[in-house]
Amino acid sequence: MSKAKEKKAHSDAKIHKHTAKDKRKTFWIKQNLRKKKLEKQAAPQKQQEKPGPPQEAQQISANWKSLQQILKSSQSEKRHQNGFTTKKHQENAFQRSSVNTAAPSERDSGEKEKQKTVPVVPKEAGEKLKLPAASDSQQSAAAKRKKDREMPTSEEDGPKKKKKKISLDEERKPTEDDLWFDDVDPDVIEETMGAEAAEIMRRKQGVRSKSREPETSLVKESAFSGITQTVAIDCEMVGVGPDGEESILARVSLVNKFGKCIYDKYVKPTEKVTDYRTAVSGIRPEDIKDGEDVQTVQREVADILKGRIVVGHAIHNDLKILLLDHPKKFIRDTQKYKPFRRIAKSSRPSLKVLCREVLNVKVQQGEHSSVQDAQATMRLYTLVKKQWEAEISSRKRNKESEEKKKRKPR
């Protein structure tokens, strides 16, 4: 019996031992679970406890610096999210990190000083504290962003602007103030500073502007002196009838494509000359007294012009006075050429103006010469011959293509 009782007591003690152990285990499990719950509850509270913008007037005045720091940190985070940082932002970040890594004693002293600062309170109880408006802060932020955009992003932007200014200064036209000296040859100034500066110097010195001599610029020396496929014509006329209003032929001149004179004859008048127009035509009574017969001149000129390109200035007047006709496709009239009209800014530019503007040559200075005028028209034509002939050929091709389209049966 005693043995059985001992066994029973031993087993009871064992069971009691196990139950105590289990109780302790369950107790600690519950404790851990409760601890975890409390930590979870505390975590959002900590996030909520992050310092935010102050709501009361006293807090604004007291904690304004802390608010600015929070705003700066939020702006830097936004910039990092956008994926760029400037030097200024990096320096600010470095300063903040140095403040955070300062000694604890310095931080504590700083915190104590902050605590000592007394919030600003209005003098009168009824007086309202002026708060910074949200719109003001937004405007200042916008202005700051605009300034950042205007600032050069790299060191290359600055020098580029300077280069532009320099180029503008270089392109600036010279004035009389720039040419303060007056003992320098205008030709030397033209070589070094350009034509405009030379023109100013010539005006100051009372010298006429330099222009090339017609004899050297309109004629190609040591060139072929015979008849070429392209010839230029010019005629001089005198007045007959009452007051010399009607015109008759007095002189005919033809030059080849090199400006060499191939034909030049005075014509004997068929009527009594009432106005020789010497100031313009250069014709005098003795020039045409023993001149060639009109019919002979007409025949000889017609033979030269046949099958050739004829260049002239207002050439319809010359052909009319000669009583001749010529195919339109072989006529080149310098007065009707559109690019020349644009240069002279006239629908009917004179030969004198075209030579001055295009060739920089002075012609018709006083009495006219039909040889010189023919040379001038030929020089104008040869100057733009490629362009002029290309335009004519393209017009011809377009006309032919249009005619072919019309001929095609529908």
Q: Residue-wise pLDDT tens for the chain (410 aa)?
A: 566 656 666 666 555 556 777 888 888 888 888 888 888 777 665 555 555 555 665 555 556 777 777 777 777 665 555 554 445 555 555 555 554 544 444 444 444 444 444 444 444 444 444 444 444 555 555 555 655 555 544 444 444 444 444 443 445 677 777 776 666 777 677 667 776 777 777 777 766 555 555 555 788 888 899 999 999 999 999 999 988 889 999 999 999 999 999 999 999 999 999 999 998 899 999 999 999 999 999 999 999 999 999 999 999 999 999 999 999 999 999 999 999 999 999 999 999 999 999 988 888 888 889 999 999 999 999 999 999 999 999 999 998 888 888 776 65
Residue 191, in any domain of the structure? no
CA distance to 365, 393, 403, 404, per residue, from 397 (Å): 42, 6, 10, 11
Residue 288, in any domain of the structure? yes
Q: Which two tokens stand for residue 401?
A: 């293509």
Residue 194, in any domain of the structure? no
Spell 126-165 as b/e; 16+ CB within 10 A means b.
Answer: eeeeeeeeeeeeeeeeeeeeeeeeeeeeeeeeeeeeeeee
Query: What letter does residue 209 receive in the DSSP assignment?
Result: P
Helix (H) or strand (E) holding 236: strand 230-240
Residue 144, in any domain of the structure? no
Would you list the DSSP string of 251-319?
EEEEE-TTS-EEEEEEB--SS-EEE--HHHH---HHHHHTPBPHHHHHHHHHHHHTTSEEEESSHHHHH
Residue 195, in any domain of the structure? no
Other Cβ atoms closer than 10 A to 251: 25
Three-class secondary structure of residue 246 per DSSP: strand
Residue 48, in any domain of the structure? no
Q: Smallest Cα–Cα separation from 210: which of 191, 229, 228?
A: 191
pTM over 0.85: no
Provide the residue range defining the domain that includes 391. 224-400
Q: Can you tell me the distance from the alpha carbon of 95 to that of 76, in angstroms, rounded to the nearest whole number? A: 13
Q: Any idea what the CATH number is for the domain that residue 394 is in?
A: 3.30.420.10
Residue 306, in any domain of the structure? yes
Q: Smallest Cα–Cα separation from 234: which of 314, 324, 297?
A: 314
Q: Can you tell me the distance from the alpha carbon of 109 to that of 307, in angstroms, rounded to the nearest whole number? A: 111
Residue 263, in any domain of the structure? yes
The total number of structural domains in the chain stands at 1
